[in-house]
Structure formats: C-alpha cells, structure tokens
C-alpha cells in the first residue's frame, strides 16, 4: 500500500469509528521491521513516530539528516506492505525540527509548546499549522502537562496539570490543529503511577465532545509486569514499574482516544528479548542472532496492543 501522505487519512477513520491506532516510536531499522511485521499480521493501520532524539540518533548527530534517513526508510518499507503506514514527528519543540520533517516527507508533526502559557502555546501551534497545512500534512498539539496526579491532591492542583476542556475548545478554534493530546494523568516512561492507575476520563470525554478531534494518549505504555519480570530474570534491575493497564487503555479508547503513543513497552520488550538471547548463547558474536529474538518480542508487544486498541483488521 502506498505510504500515507497525511496522518489524518488514518486518524479521521479511527475518530469516526472510535478505535485506537498504535503510534510506535522508532530510532532504527530493527524496531521498524518488528512493528511493521506485527501490524501486518493484525492487518492494522499504524503510525510510526520519531522524537527529536530519534532524529539526532539516526542522523549521527544531525537531526535534519536523521529525519531524511528515517523518512526514506519508513516510506520505502511502507510501500511494500499491505497496511497504511504514516510517519509522525513526536514532541517537536521548534520550527527547525518541524521544517526538517516536512522537507523529509513526514505525514504529520507534533508541536509540543505545552510548557508555555495558553496564549503562547496557541500562537506557536497556529504558526506550525499554517506551514504544515501548506505542505499538505497534519499537526498534533498538546494541552496540559504530562504527569501523574495522585488521588489526594486538591482540585486546584489537578486543574494546574490536566487539560481544561473549555480551553481546549478555544485552542482548537484558534489554531485549527488536527489532533490533540490532552493531559489526563499519564506520563512518559516505566513509572507512571505510585498507586492505582487512574485517568481523568470525564475531562477526556468533554474535550472530545467540545472539539470532535481525534485524541492522542501520550505515555500510554502498559509496562506489562511479565515483560519486566523477564528482563529482571536476565540481569535487569527495574523495580516499581507501572504502566496504563490494558483495561484502562481500552476504556480510554471508548472515551475517544485514537492515537496511542507507545515507546516504553517496545523498549522493555526488546531489552527483555536481548538480555535473554545474550544469556542463552554467550558464544555468539553475530549481533543479528541477538537482535532477532529481541525483535520478535517487540512484534508480539505490538500485536498485543493493536488487539487492545481495536484496530485489528482496520487496514
Ligand atoms: N512518547 C515517546 C517519547 C520518546 O526523547 P525520546 O525518544 O525518549 O522520546 O511521546 C510517548 O508518549 C511514549 O509514552 P510511553 O513512555 O508510555 O511509551
Ligand atoms: Zn509523548
């Protein structure tokens, strides 16, 4: 299937039909093939995303070169498989990175100006939207701060961190952004919650109703305990890890999440597979022999998530 030129081709349908699409982070070819292989098995659309760090890594220190290398690789492979694949810039922070991705042929970009006050976030986002739309691609923005919120905090503290639905409506009207990442209590990485994993679905539902846009869940990894245990069994030392459990993720999709950002789960799966392979065959010195089982772990993690998100068979 030809590479998807605009991510809204994938997210527009997911928004109408209320299912989630996996947005999987890559830095290299191994993760890309593992993700694509899992998605092809599930006949699911996917979004491949690269952070600014990934651009720098893939470009040997030069993010613009990295964007080109990653885009060439994703486009070439996307053209070969029977599922829709889009490429997205994850957490772009400035015009320079955004323009590098547009030039490289990305299908969408995220402008993350969420650290600024509302007006400044809206101003920066609007500027990026103009440039991206002129190039025929779509834009994601973020409102609120990505961090967990304990149950016992005050209303004022919750309001300071999580998205405000009325502001979201105004933000979308001002910026004409295409999809939105609302802060509803998730955070990046493997340590998301101290207690119970709880997200603010009430806010999510209101934002969805008021904007009608596809919603993005950042920090959506589930950090499955069995994968962490496997990594620990073969030498890792990861304690107290906790992600968004599968049932909570399913619920998030019901309330309107359509793009589900996943990086940590794939990193964890790869490392668990790699550690086991290194342990089981210490005489080996061909890295490919170690990467293969690690990639299979990533592929399985992708399959598990696609099934939970309801996008199997939606290609
Ligand atoms: N992301 C991934 C961000 C990765 O700089 P970097 O390459 O480490 O950035 O945007 C997510 O929302 C992933 O969330 P997760 O940690 O729950 O997988
Ligand atoms: Zn994120």
**Residue 143 phi/psi, 5° resolution?**
-130, 135
Q: Which two tokens stand for residue 251?
A: 């619920």
Give pLDDT, residue 256.
98
Is residue 63 lining ligand 1, measured as CB closer than 6 Å?
A: no
**Distance in angstroms (rounded) separating the CA atoms of residues 107 and 112:** 17
Cα–Cα distance between 271 and 148 in angstroms, integer?
25
**Computed over its alpha carbons, how large is the radius of gyration of the chain?**
19
**Mean pLDDT (whole number) for 288-314:** 98
Q: Which of 84, 134, 137, 85 is nearest to 109 (CA)?
A: 137
Is the distance from the beta carbon of residue 53 to the nearest atom of ligand 1 less than 6 Å? yes
How far are the Cα atoms of 62, 141, 241, 265, 294 from residue 237, in angstroms, in the given order?
Answer: 32, 35, 11, 16, 18
Is residue 147 very low, low, confident or very high in pLDDT (cuts 50, 70, 90)? confident
The pLDDT of residue 11 is above 80: yes
- Ligand sitting nearest the alpha carbon of 261: 1
Q: Is the CB of 23 under 6 A from ligand 1?
A: no
**CA of 10 relative to ligand 2 center, distance in Å:** 19
Q: What is the C-alpha to C-alpha distance for residues 242 and 196, in angstroms, rounded to an integer?
A: 9
- Whether 263 is in the pocket of ligand 1, judged by its Cβ within 6 Å, is yes
pLDDT confidence bin for 152, thresholds 50/70/90: confident
36-70 residue pLDDT tens: 999 999 999 999 999 999 999 999 999 999 999 99
DSSP 135: T
Q: Is residue 151 over pLDDT 80?
A: no
177 in Cβ contact with 133 (< 8 Å): no
Ion ligand 2: residues, CB within 5 A, are: 218, 261
The ligand with the least distance to the CA atom of 142 is: 2
The CATH number of 8-309, from 3.40.220.10, 3.20.20.70, 3.40.250.10, 3.90.1150.10, is 3.20.20.70
What is the tens place of the pLDDT at every residue in 196-254?
999 999 999 999 999 999 999 999 999 999 999 999 999 999 999 999 999 999 999 99
User: Closest Cα to atom 5, ligand 1: which residue?
Assistant: 53
> What is the value of pTM for the model shown?
0.97
Is 307 a residue whose pLDDT tops 80? yes
> According to the model, what pLDDT value does residue 174 have?
98
Domain boundaries, the chain: 8-309
Q: What's residue 29's pLDDT?
A: 98
Measured distance CA(312)–CA(315) in Å, rounded = 8
Residues labelled as active-site residues: 90
Residue to substitute in 261, 298, 302, 308 for testing ligand 1 pocket (most ligand atoms within 8 angstroms of CB): 261
Q: Around Cβ 298, how many Cβ atoms within 10 Å?
A: 28
pLDDT at 9 over 90: yes
What percentage of the chain exceeds 70 in pLDDT? 100
Q: What is the mean pLDDT of the chain?
A: 97
* Nearest ligand 1 atom to alpha carbon 263: 18
């Amino acid at each position: 299937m030809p590479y998807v030129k605009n991510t809204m081709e994938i997210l527009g349908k997911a928004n109408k039909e209320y299912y989630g699409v996996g947005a999987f982070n890559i830095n290299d070819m191994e993760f890309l093939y593992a993700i694509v292989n899992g998605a092809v098995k599930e006949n699911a659309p996917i979004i491949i995303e690269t952070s600014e760090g990934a651009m720098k890594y893939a470009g040997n220190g030069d993010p613009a070169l990295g964007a080109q290398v990653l885009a060439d690789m994703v486009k070439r492979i996307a053209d070969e498989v029977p599922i829709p694949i889009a490429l997205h810039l994850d957490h772009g922070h400035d015009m320079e990175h955004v323009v590098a991705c547009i030039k490289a042929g990305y299908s969408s970009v995220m402008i993350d100006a969420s650290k600024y006050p509302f007006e400044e976030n809206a101003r920066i986002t609007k500027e990026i939207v103009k440039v991206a739309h002129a190039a025929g691609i779509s834009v994601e923005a973020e409102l609120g701060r990505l961090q967990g919120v304990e149950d016992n905090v005050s209303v004022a503290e919750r309001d300071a961190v999580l998205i405000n639905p009325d502001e979201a409506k105004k933000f979308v009207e001002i910026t004409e952004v295409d999809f939105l990442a609302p802060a509803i209590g998730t955070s990046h990485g493997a340590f998301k919650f101290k207690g119970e994993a709880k997200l603010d679905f009430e806010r999510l539902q209101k934002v969805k109703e008021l904007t009608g846009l596809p919603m993005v869940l950042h920090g959506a990894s589930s950090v499955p305990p069995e994968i962490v245990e496997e990594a620990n069994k073969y030498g890792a030392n990861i304690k107290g890890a906790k992600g968004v459990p599968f049932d909570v993720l399913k619920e998030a999709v019901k309330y309107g999440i359509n793009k589900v950002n996943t990086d940590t789960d794939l990193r964890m799966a790869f490392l668990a597979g790699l550690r086991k392979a290194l342990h089981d065959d210490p005489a080996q010195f061909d890295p490919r022999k170690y990467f293969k089982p690690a990639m299979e772990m990533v592929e399985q993690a992708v399959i598990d998530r696609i099934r939970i998100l309801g996008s199997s068979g939606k290609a």
